[in-house]
Amino acid sequence: MNMETPVIELRHVDKHFGLLHVLKDISLKVYRGEVVVILGPSGSGKSTLCRTVNRLETIDSGEILIDGEPMPAEGRKLASLRAKIGMVFQSFNLFAHMTILDNLTLAPVDVLRIGKKEARMEAMRLLERVGVADQARKVPAQLSGGQQQRAAIARALAMRPEAILFDEPTSALDPEMISEVLNVMTSLASDGMTMLIVTHEMNFARKVADRVIFMDDGMIVEESDPEAFFLHPQSERARDFLNAVHSH
């Protein structure tokens, strides 16, 4: 039994979109330094689950705790708790009117109140790390999808987050750019970053995940270590899913 407080914890979370029951009694813990990958067919609710963690989606019932603290419903408290959890989106969502560098320094300066100079230095260091430092003065539209996504990861890192949520970070990328983003994520994982990742990249999941969660129809169907999941899936649905994926 792990006695440590999880960085992210969901307790009996339920959510409906109208008549659709998209999250059914979801409970989940992500501990410090852990990499948890959520797999599942599209429409299984995995993206929604990821977005509820920082309240980009509200929930109908249940509890979400960050560092043991319940997620506030609104206001400054919500904002400052969100600041602790980074998020990387499918469509990058860099601010179109700012340079890459300004994208990285905006929140550290405005939210964390870090000095401009320090924020810039930190931003450049992070851009270096994800390999787009030479693009710092450009605006997002001048970058390739892979570069944008790497910059978006750097933007999340600039907030010195306790954990980062990845909502299908490679789904909008051309095939040749997927690996450059996955490489950055792999290096983050090996540096001990706490990560909750929704993805369709099976090889990546198998290599990087500490734990795999398989979702279908709004429920967590299986939760196990990656080797066990990929070699011996317990449920019928997981077997079907893996067969469908591998037959591609």
Partner 1 sequence: MSVSNLLSQYGDRYIQALLTTWKLTAFSFAAAFALGVLITILRVCPIKPLRIAGDFYVQVFRNIPGAALLILLVYALPYLKIIFSYEVCVLIATTLIPSAFCSEHLMSGMNTIAPGQIEAARALGLTFFQMIRRIVIPQALRSTVLPMTNLLVATMLTTSLASQVPMRPMDLTGLVSYINTHATGGVTAFAISAALYCATALLIGFTGSLIDRKVRILR
Partner 2 sequence: MKQTSIRDLLYETPGPAARKKIRVWTGVALAAIAALIALIVRQFAETGQLAERYWSFFAKATTWRFLGQGLLTTLEAALTGAAIAFALGFTLMRGKLRRNRILRGISTALIEFTRGVPTLLFIYFFFLVVPQMGWKLSAFWKITLPCAISACGVVAEALRAGVNAVPKGQTEAALSLGMTETRLFYRVVFPQAIRFVIPSLIAELVIVLKDTTFAYVVTCADLMQNAKVLISNYDAMLSVYLVVAVIYILINYLLNKLSDVLAVRLHSPAERSAAA
Residues near partner 1 (CB under 8 A) are 54, 56, 76, 79-87, 89, 91-97, 106-107, 110-111, 139-142, 152, 155-156, 159
Q: Is residue 194 a contact partner of residue 66, using CB atoms and an 8 Å limit?
A: no
Regarding 62 and contact with partner 2 (CB under 8 A), the answer is no
Regarding 55 and contact with partner 2 (CB under 8 A), the answer is yes
Regarding 18 and contact with partner 2 (CB under 8 A), the answer is no
User: Which residue lies nearer to partner 2 by CB, 19 or 73?
Assistant: 73
In the block, residue with structure tokens 């810039």:
120
Regarding 78 and contact with partner 2 (CB under 8 A), the answer is yes
107 binds, among partner 1, partner 2, none (CB under 5 to 8 A by kind): partner 1
User: Which residue lies nearer to partner 1 by CB, 22 or 152?
Assistant: 152
Choose the stretch contacting partner 2; rule: CB under 8 A; options: 69-77, 106-114, 130-138, 141-149. 69-77
142 binds, among partner 1, partner 2, none (CB under 5 to 8 A by kind): partner 1
Least distance to partner 2, CB of residue 73, Å: 3
Query: Among 33, 41, 62, 72, which residue interacts with partner 2 (rule: CB under 8 A)?
Result: 72
Regarding 80 and contact with partner 2 (CB under 8 A), the answer is no
Q: Which residues bind partner 2 (CB under 8 A)?
A: 55-56, 58, 72-75, 78
